[in-house]
Amino acid sequence: MAEDDVDFAVAAYRDEGEWQLVELRPSLAEDLDDLTKALGRFPSDVGVLGLVSMNDDFFVILRRSGGEVRALLSDVTAALDWPLASGIADLLDVEDPDDDDVPQPAGDLDIVSDLGMPAIELGVLCDDDDLYPDEILSDVAARLGFGEAFDLLVR
């Protein structure tokens, strides 16, 4: 995997009630442990979100709160080809996908429900084959209240 495969990696956290966004080095998105450690350096009253888009293929939302890590992988079949997706599948204790498996999300669809985006709406976005990962993450960011800053950072 090359850093060129990472469309973007962003940390989002709230500090004194205001969302802050930081672009992360693309190399951090190559490995779940590296990404999780990077998220741990940011303070937040609601946990730190890691938003990653990979090669216009899939996205990841991580939420780290202290030592707890929650994850959503938009397409479990990405675990066949991508180390980050494979690491998340392992974290979630998901069976290894087969080549003929249908793309589907794995993990915690409730990952941001307490922040303003219900699981059902996130699930609908994950199931929309016409949307690219960056478009879905932009929609999530807008729903959580930092869409404009997110779009400026990743575009």
What's 76-112 look like in SS3? HHHHHCCHHHHHHHHHCCCCCCCCCCCCCCEECCCCC
Mean pLDDT of 69-79: 95
Predicted pLDDT of residue 3: 56
- pTM check: above 0.85: yes
pLDDT tens digits, one per residue of 85-132: 999 999 999 988 888 888 899 999 999 999 999 999 999 999 999 999
Supply the range of the domain harboring residue 52: 3-154
How many CB atoms sit inside 10 A of residue 59's CB? Answer: 28
Predicted pLDDT of residue 155: 85
Mean pLDDT of 9-30: 94
Query: Two tokens at 114?
Result: 């307490």
Helix axes 147-154 and 133-144, enclosed angle (nearest 10): 150
Predicted pLDDT of residue 122: 96
Contact 129, 56 (CB under 8 A): no
Q: Which residues pair with 60 in a beta bridge?
A: 52, 73
Contact 8, 49 (CB under 8 A): no
Higher per-residue confidence, 59 vs 2: 59
Contact 13, 49 (CB under 8 A): yes
Mean pLDDT of 38-65: 94
The number of distinct structural domains making up the chain is: 1
The proportion of the chain whose per-residue pLDDT surpasses 90, expressed as a percent, equals 83
